[in-house]
Amino acid sequence: MKGKSDDYANEEALSNFIRMHLLCNILGINPSRSPADCARFLMMLKVDRWCNLINTKSNPKNESVLDTVIDLHNYCDLAYACDIDESK
Protein backbone atom coordinates (compact mmCIF):
# COMPACT_ATOMS: atom_id res chain seq x y z
CA MET A 1 0.00 0.00 0.00
CA LYS A 2 2.85 2.40 0.78
CA GLY A 3 4.38 2.08 -2.70
CA LYS A 4 1.07 2.69 -4.43
CA SER A 5 0.34 5.60 -2.08
CA ASP A 6 3.54 7.36 -3.15
CA ASP A 7 2.25 7.49 -6.74
CA TYR A 8 -0.96 9.24 -5.70
CA ALA A 9 -0.16 11.21 -2.56
CA ASN A 10 2.47 13.48 -1.14
CA GLU A 11 3.91 13.04 2.34
CA GLU A 12 0.34 13.06 3.70
CA ALA A 13 -0.99 9.63 2.71
CA LEU A 14 -4.60 10.81 2.56
CA SER A 15 -3.90 13.96 0.53
CA ASN A 16 -5.22 12.52 -2.72
CA PHE A 17 -8.58 11.73 -1.09
CA ILE A 18 -8.78 15.29 0.22
CA ARG A 19 -7.97 16.72 -3.23
CA MET A 20 -10.42 14.38 -4.96
CA HIS A 21 -13.17 15.36 -2.52
CA LEU A 22 -12.54 19.05 -3.23
CA LEU A 23 -12.35 18.53 -7.00
CA CYS A 24 -15.57 16.55 -7.07
CA ASN A 25 -17.36 19.25 -5.08
CA ILE A 26 -15.98 22.06 -7.24
CA LEU A 27 -16.79 20.27 -10.50
CA GLY A 28 -20.12 18.84 -9.35
CA ILE A 29 -19.00 15.25 -9.88
CA ASN A 30 -21.03 12.66 -7.99
CA PRO A 31 -19.98 9.08 -8.88
CA SER A 32 -23.20 7.67 -7.44
CA ARG A 33 -25.31 9.87 -9.74
CA SER A 34 -24.37 8.37 -13.10
CA PRO A 35 -21.91 6.20 -15.01
CA ALA A 36 -20.59 9.36 -16.68
CA ASP A 37 -19.83 10.95 -13.31
CA CYS A 38 -18.10 7.76 -12.25
CA ALA A 39 -15.88 7.99 -15.35
CA ARG A 40 -15.23 11.70 -14.67
CA PHE A 41 -14.18 10.80 -11.12
CA LEU A 42 -11.66 8.33 -12.52
CA MET A 43 -10.45 11.01 -14.97
CA MET A 44 -9.78 13.37 -12.07
CA LEU A 45 -8.02 10.60 -10.16
CA LYS A 46 -5.63 10.08 -13.10
CA VAL A 47 -5.04 13.85 -13.44
CA ASP A 48 -4.33 14.00 -9.70
CA ARG A 49 -1.85 11.10 -9.96
CA TRP A 50 -0.12 12.65 -12.98
CA CYS A 51 0.23 16.00 -11.18
CA ASN A 52 1.52 14.31 -8.04
CA LEU A 53 4.21 12.47 -10.01
CA ILE A 54 5.28 15.65 -11.78
CA ASN A 55 5.16 17.87 -8.69
CA THR A 56 7.09 15.44 -6.50
CA LYS A 57 9.46 14.51 -9.35
CA SER A 58 9.18 10.90 -8.22
CA ASN A 59 9.50 7.80 -10.31
CA PRO A 60 6.26 5.82 -10.38
CA LYS A 61 6.37 2.62 -8.39
CA ASN A 62 3.55 1.03 -10.37
CA GLU A 63 2.25 2.20 -13.74
CA SER A 64 4.29 4.67 -15.79
CA VAL A 65 3.30 8.27 -16.46
CA LEU A 66 2.49 7.20 -20.02
CA ASP A 67 0.14 4.51 -18.65
CA THR A 68 -1.56 7.19 -16.57
CA VAL A 69 -2.01 9.44 -19.61
CA ILE A 70 -3.39 6.54 -21.66
CA ASP A 71 -5.82 5.72 -18.84
CA LEU A 72 -6.88 9.38 -18.74
CA HIS A 73 -7.57 9.36 -22.48
CA ASN A 74 -9.60 6.18 -22.13
CA TYR A 75 -11.65 7.55 -19.22
CA CYS A 76 -12.35 10.72 -21.24
CA ASP A 77 -13.66 8.61 -24.12
CA LEU A 78 -15.70 6.45 -21.76
CA ALA A 79 -17.20 9.47 -19.98
CA TYR A 80 -18.23 10.93 -23.32
CA ALA A 81 -19.72 7.59 -24.38
CA CYS A 82 -21.70 7.52 -21.11
CA ASP A 83 -22.93 11.07 -21.78
CA ILE A 84 -24.12 10.04 -25.24
CA ASP A 85 -25.77 6.91 -23.86
CA GLU A 86 -27.54 8.90 -21.12
CA SER A 87 -28.88 11.40 -23.65
CA LYS A 88 -30.68 8.66 -25.64
* DSSP class of 57: T
The pLDDT value recorded for residue 15 is 83
Confidence of residue 1 (pLDDT cuts 50, 70, 90): low
CB 27 within 8 Å of CB 40: yes
The residue segments making up the domain with residue 19 are 2-87
Q: Rounded to whole angstroms, how far apart are CA atoms 72 and 57?
A: 20
Tell me the per-residue pLDDT of 8-57, one tens digit each, with 9 for 90 and over: 666 677 888 889 999 999 999 999 999 999 999 999 999 998 988 888 88
Distance from the Cα of residue 8 to its chain's centroid: 9
The pLDDT value recorded for residue 5 is 63
Q: Rounded to whole angstroms, how far apart are CA atoms 75 and 55?
A: 22
Question: What phi and psi, each to the nearest 5 degrees, are found at residue 10?
Answer: -85, -150
Q: How many domains would you assign to the chain?
A: 1
- Give the type of residue at 41: F
